[in-house]
Amino acid sequence: MSELRQRHLAESSAPPNELDQAPTTDSVDWKKDKEDTLSYGKTPDGKVFRVPVTHDMLTAVLDPQSSKTFFDLFTLAIMGLEIGLFFILPSGFRQYFYLVIFVFWRLSYNLGLGILLKYQSEERGLVSLAKKYKVFDAKKNPKIHAWLKHQFTRKMGKDYDFETAPIEFNTWLLYRQLVDIILMNDFTSYLCFALSWFNAAPKVTFFLSDPLRWIGGLFLVAFNIWVKVDAQRVVKDFAWYWGDFFFLIEQSLTFDGVFEMAPHPMYSVGYIGYYGLSLMCASYTVLYVSLFAHAAQFAFLIFVETPHIEKTYNPPPVPTRRLSSPSESSISDTATETDDVPQHLDQAANRDFYNNYFRRDLIVFKNFDIFRSTDFASVLVMFYAAYMPLFAMSGNLGVTFAIGQALLWRVFHSYILGALLHRQSTSKFITRHFLKWGGTVQDAYNNWKSIYNLSLCMTYITFFIACWKMYTLPEDWTYGMTLLRHTLGFVFIGFHIWTSVSIYEVLGDFGWFYGDFFFDDKHIGLVYSGIYRYLNNPEKIMGHAAFWGMTLMANSWIIFILALFSQISNFLFLNYVEGPHMRKLYGDQIRKEAGLTKTLRSAAVALPKSIPDEFRQEVTKMLREKSELQAALNTTKSVERIVKETVEKVERVVEETAGAVGDMVEAARPRLQEMVADTKILLENSTSRLLIPKVTNDLDAYDLSKYSIEFNTSQADNISFTFGEAIALKWHAPANHGAKDWIGVYKITANKSKHVTTTSSKGLWTWITPQLADTFEEGSPLQTPRHTEGTVTFRGDGLPWEIGSYEFRYHHDGKHNVMTRSRPFDIVAPAAEANSFEALQEEILHIVQHALGDNSDIIPRDINEEYVSMPDDSAKRVVYAIRMIYGVDFAWEVVSSDRCVASLSKRVNQALRALSPFSERTKRLSIASKVSSTLSSSSPDRCSPVSRVDEMN
């Protein structure tokens, strides 16, 4: 499991007084046994229960002293079969056989378990299936119930009661059995696969290649074992088996050890052993399969684990209307730096700052706009830098030019820009220059951002061009280290991209462009999150990985010198420009030791203590006798006797410490089977059921003529609704209708069949009885008898926000069989009938309110009130409606940046004036002609904070 889940277990959403919490600690007890403190679980329906003690995979399956269930024996049987076939099958066939077997088990892990976990996360699907088929019900399935009870009880301790345990816990135990089968065989099949491709006589081209290869491989495998053992120590069985997909526990876990060393250690450094085995096997096949599987494991993290973690532990805040007093605006005008300004005013000021200084800036090539002069100029410079050495110059001239410009841009980027930043830090040199000629701080910073981004891009582009000019396509890819160089080169480039993205996610636009060199009052302290949790400055080494990757592929000593110069230059910039400025701003806030160095130091101190005492005592005793042994060797010829005694002594040590050492080795085996995968999760949305369900015979019992959907509207013909207008429906159904009947909205051309819906509703649906939705989810007894009529209302996120013709479809009992359809209706754009600026403001106010679902808790009540919340989807609806009504196209980001209808209306009005034809004035554009007389009297210059004081009084 990833450390994200582990990090937030201590931050459960349950109230502190509801579940007991264990205190956290910053110390690392490397010898601590896995016996867990008592913990309590909480099911989705709020039931709190004592979580029984569980055992890890190796203890349950491989420990001969533990009781074996049918699942354990089945797992051991398959593993034994795979190992036995390894010694029977011919070598040529064996290689590809185990390649296929490993891919099968890896797909079972990443694709199979991934789909099951996704289904459980989004729909509580596995628990729902257990409820639906009464798997744990003694009355409905007595044989299955008795068999599962016997299996689980044998595996668990005395604190487990099969009958009283929540169904979520029992379902999790059943899921664990499947996980054990897949992961144990995944590990076994990979070992057999790697050994099948073992190259006993690799072609080597450098001195001591074999010893170095084995030493490096063994080190990586040993390091991998330590990572898995330490990760198991931290996350325990609950997180190891994805327990929070089924229920939550209130247990405070220390975020230490390997989780302070690297992000997602179970999926990053936890797979480094694969590359150690690849080294020892000296096989490119093993290496590439390992790379592919490792990448697929990250896909499992991205598509399965991360969405669940974010949903469970970091849900988006519910927007609420804040309370404020009428005097707030005066406070914001008169507050000084020493005043205690309300927090929301400070947040508003920060939002204003970011909206003013960061508006779609060009970050490498992100936010590129060809009509922006700085972007266009940057592209021209990059084009000429590539065109000249590649096409305009040939031979040595082109090579010299390419290397020369790469060197010059590195000097400019690290030394010239470094000198400018240093002077900006000490004397505000850049800011003073623009103020001297009538500019502003914003002018200085905007120009700096453009120059810095151009320089950054040019260092990469010119270095790549230099590498390309020095690169020669290999004639024989299998010769020497050619293939390995290219493989590592692409890996380093990918690693560099990931590092840069991770750095930007933490720093944001402000930190990426060195904003704290320009704005002394905007720094908010150092935040050691993301990649900075593990490294104080990842740019020093990891930030240059792409340069070394390209150097490996170019295989040129000139490029090597250029890369080394770039690395040293970057190091000097960080130490003599950025470092002093950070110390000046943040002082003691700067962390002295990063998570990686702290973990390695702790491991270096603590690991020797984990060695069994008997073994350490004997080794110390043998070292103490070293001098005596040496004297004996020098004075006697009884070498054989001494050797024999030494061997006997070592054997005695091994026998005495066999139990302790064996336990340590066995504990060091966990989850090497969590390796690689070969897939991308194909499940987009659990609500998107695109398969055509089979029309079952039980539909014959339903009279379709008794089903109907009617609009609660006075429109007789050509029914239409404007953007965001709530649509109320009245439905009728017979008394025996399905308990989970639902209604969805679709374009009339979306489904060819009138009887079966074949396309996804994309979330535009509702139960016919929305108030019973929670009952459906929890599997509680459903209402009997059922209502034969009712009303449902579609609004906000449940409405289609696109012009077109639609229909509502009534579906049977959670399936896609259509019982009846509504009359077709149209979604249309309202006509732009405003003839004054005030009317325009009212129209846009209604658009914004509809886009926010007409939710009274978050919609602005007047044009000057700030949005309480403006999600991205809602902002996109607003700009779509403005484009359809007024013919003006905006990027959706401007809606959030304007913050209130008054500002957005001014923007629309200004756009109408700018786009009005020279030869005519339409009715729409007459609005703009009146704005000069109304702006000053109808609305203030800025949005006003929300106030509910009058209503409360």
Structure tokens at 598: 């702290």
pLDDT averaged per 10 residues, the chain (length 953)? 36 35 36 52 88 79 80 92 93 92 93 93 91 88 90 86 91 93 93 90 64 87 84 79 88 63 79 89 90 89 89 72 43 39 50 61 83 89 92 89 94 94 88 79 87 94 94 82 88 88 82 82 62 72 86 93 93 89 75 61 57 55 51 46 50 48 43 37 35 48 86 77 88 87 92 87 86 56 70 87 92 89 89 77 88 84 83 88 86 82 86 64 45 46 50 35
b/e 839-866 (16+ beta carbons within 10 angstroms → b): ebbbbbbbbbbbbbbeeeebbbeebbbb
- Helices within 359-481 (DSSP H only): 373-387, 395-411, 417-427, 429-436, 441-470
The values of phi and psi at residue 711, to 5°, are -85, 135
The values of phi and psi at residue 627, to 5°, are -65, -40
Number of H helices, E strands in the chain: 36, 12
Neighbours of 819 (CB within 10 A): 25
Residue 342 and residue 892 in contact, taking contact as beta carbons nearer than 8 Å: no
User: Which sign does the torsion angle of CA 645, 651, 655, 658 carry?
Assistant: positive
The residue among 814, 783, 813, 779 whose CA lies nearest residue 134 is 779
Radius of gyration of the chain (CA): 34
The residue among 296, 290, 268, 266 whose CA lies nearest residue 277 is 290
Q: Give the pLDDT of residue 563.
A: 94
> Count of alpha carbons within 13 Å of 732, Cβ hemisphere only?
9
- The backbone region for 385, taken as left when phi is positive above 0, alpha when psi lies in -120 to 50, beta otherwise, is alpha
The residue among 745, 755, 657 whose CA lies nearest residue 704 is 755
Burial class from Cβ neighbours inside 10 Å (0-12, 13-18, 19+) for residue 334 reads: exposed
3-state secondary structure of 673: coil
User: Which sign does the torsion angle of CA 827, 828, 829, 830 carry?
Assistant: negative
The residue among 207, 184, 203 whose CA lies nearest residue 81 is 184
The values of phi and psi at residue 819, to 5°, are -90, -35
Would you list the DSSP string of 738-764? -TT-EEEEEETTS-S-SSB--S--TT-
Secondary structure, 3-state, 376-390: HHHHHHHHHHHHHHH
From CA 179, how far away is CA 175, in angstroms rounded? 6
From CA 541, how far away is CA 887, in angstroms rounded? 51
Alpha carbon 22 to chain centroid distance?
Answer: 28
Structure tokens at 10: 């201590």
Residue 543 and residue 500 in contact, taking contact as beta carbons nearer than 8 Å: yes
b/e 175-185 (16+ beta carbons within 10 angstroms → b): bbbebbbbbbb
Residues 6+ apart with CB under 8 A from 640: none
Burial class from Cβ neighbours inside 10 Å (0-12, 13-18, 19+) for residue 919 reads: exposed
C-alpha separations of 312 from 13, 14, 48, 416 in Å: 9, 12, 17, 48
User: For tokens 């639906």, what's the residue?
Assistant: 132
Residues 6+ apart with CB under 8 A from 736: 701, 702, 786
Count of all residues that appear for the chain in the document:
953
Residues 6+ apart with CB under 8 A from 163: 149
User: For tokens 């004397």, what's the residue?
Assistant: 427
Question: Omega before 64 cis (within 30°)?
Answer: no
Q: Strands 727-732, 708-711: parallel, antiparallel or unpaired by DSSP?
A: antiparallel
The values of phi and psi at residue 794, to 5°, are -95, 130
From CA 511, how far away is CA 853, in angstroms rounded? 36
Q: What is the DSSP letter of 594?
A: -
Q: What stretches of 686-778 adopt beta strand conformation (E)?
A: 708-711, 720-722, 727-732, 742-747, 765-767
- The backbone region for 641, taken as left when phi is positive above 0, alpha when psi lies in -120 to 50, beta otherwise, is alpha
> Count of alpha carbons within 13 Å of 114, Cβ hemisphere only?
28
Structure tokens at 98: 């185990």
Residue 830 and residue 885 in contact, taking contact as beta carbons nearer than 8 Å: yes
Residue 113 and residue 120 in contact, taking contact as beta carbons nearer than 8 Å: no
The residue among 44, 6, 74 whose CA lies nearest residue 774 is 44
The strand pairing partners of 743, in sequence order, are 766, 810
511-515-517-521 Cα dihedral, nearest 10 degrees: -110
Residue 713 and residue 719 in contact, taking contact as beta carbons nearer than 8 Å: yes
Q: Give the pLDDT of residue 331.
A: 35
Burial class from Cβ neighbours inside 10 Å (0-12, 13-18, 19+) for residue 812 reads: buried
